[in-house]
């Protein structure tokens, strides 16, 4: 999720985009052609922003497969969120981030054009496709994402935004909070906006931990894969990310360092278990 950083229209954004990596402004007729006038058969997803269409569009000398996210007029999101996402994704290029090809602003129509990701996103694999992901795989994903999220304080990339909703403030501390929410999603396989959770995943998890119900919040598919030492360290750094007092939260560098130690510990324990299993078979 991306939240507003103060850009409310294209004219305010134009001076910023001049020095960012190329982000093309598409004409509306190009979008209509690529999506076949927003044909419903091309819809590949939907969310709070609106529907997402798949289509082919000419970008430079190439025709590329792209995903077109169209703002729904009835959405709670609007121009501020749209321009914030254009600005943020224009700044960032990373292998773990969907690249923004361009955008279109025409009257009330606002469309974001992304590279098409046939394998989907982490959110989709966790909450829509229910892809089997081992604990070790989830740790590796968390570590890689954490290494990337270490952005300068004025780059407010948000993976999730409950802290912003509560305070209206953006900072490196809020980025850390957002990443803590992602760590919870990885551990529990519950969405940050799960409708079954009255106060959101962070409050639900914190209350469960305080009440001694940690084991009950872990995704059942990985509950027997996590060593107690790894779980304790992982949950501790996650709790610190979600601290109600921003200044008490760790830096992303510290989070990444901790995740790396958790990953190394889990891999070591996995190796030891394999060795013990092999030794047991040899003895008997």
| Model pLDDT for residues 175-213, shown as the tens digit of each residue | 788 888 889 999 999 887 665 665 678 888 888 888 888
More confident residue, 26 or 182: 26
Annotated binding-site residue? 268: no
More confident residue, 5 or 30: 30
Chain position carrying tokens 């047991």 = 280
| Residue-level pLDDT at 4 | 29
Q: What is the mean pLDDT of residues 79-103?
A: 73
Split at pLDDT 50, 70, 90, the class of 147 is low
| Residue-level pLDDT at 61 | 84
Q: Is the pLDDT of residue 106 over 70?
A: yes
Q: Is the pLDDT of residue 16 over 50?
A: no
Task: Give all domains of the chain, ordered by start, each with its CATH number.
Answer: 10-115 (3.30.200.20), 122-277 (1.10.510.10)
Q: How far is Cα 221 from Cα 141, in angstroms, rounded to an integer?
A: 17
Q: Which two tokens stand for residue 154?
A: 């004025």
Q: Is the pLDDT of residue 162 over 70?
A: no
pTM of the full structure: 0.63
Q: What is the mean pLDDT of residues 54-66?
A: 89
The answer for 194, left when phi > 0, alpha when psi is -120 to 50, beta otherwise, is beta
| Residue-level pLDDT at 110 | 93
| Residue-level pLDDT at 151 | 38
- Sheet strand arrangement including 51-59: 24-25, 100-106, 109-115, 62-70, 51-59, 43-46
């Amino acid at each position: 999720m991306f939240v507003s950083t103060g850009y409310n229209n294209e004219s305010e954004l134009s001076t910023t985009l001049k020095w960012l990596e190329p982000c093309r402004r598409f004409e509306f007729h190009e979008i209509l052609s690529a999506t076949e006038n927003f044909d419903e058969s091309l819809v590949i997803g939907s969310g709070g922003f609106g529907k997402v269409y798949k289509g082919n569009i000419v970008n430079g000398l190439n025709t590329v497969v792209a995903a077109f996210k169209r703002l729904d007029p009835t959405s709670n999101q609007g121009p501020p969120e749209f321009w914030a996402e254009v600005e943020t994704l224009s700044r960032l290029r990373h292998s773990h981030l969907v690249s923004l090809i361009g955008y279109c602003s025409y009257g009330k129509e606002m469309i974001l054009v992304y590279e098409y990701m046939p394998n989907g996103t982490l959110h989709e694999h966790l909450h829509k496709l229910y892809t089997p992901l081992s604990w070790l795989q989830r740790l590796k994903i968390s570590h890689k994402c954490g290494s990337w999220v270490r952005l300068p304080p004025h780059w407010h990339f948000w993976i999730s935004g409950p802290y912003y909703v509560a305070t209206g403030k953006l900072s490196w501390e809020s980025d850390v909070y957002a990443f803590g929410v992602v760590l919870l999603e990885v551990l529990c396989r519950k969405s940050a906006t799960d409708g079954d959770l009255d106060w959101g995943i962070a409050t639900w998890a914190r209350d469960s931990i305080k009440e001694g119900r940690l084991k009950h919040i872990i995704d059942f598919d990985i509950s027997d894969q996590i060593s107690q030492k790894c779980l304790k360290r992982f949950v501790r750094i996650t709790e610190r990310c979600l601290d109600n007092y921003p200044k008490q939260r760790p830096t992303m560098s510290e989070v990444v360092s901790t995740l790396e130690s958790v990953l190394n510990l889990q891999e070591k324990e996995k190796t030891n278990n394999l060795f013990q299993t092999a030794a047991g078979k040899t003895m008997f």
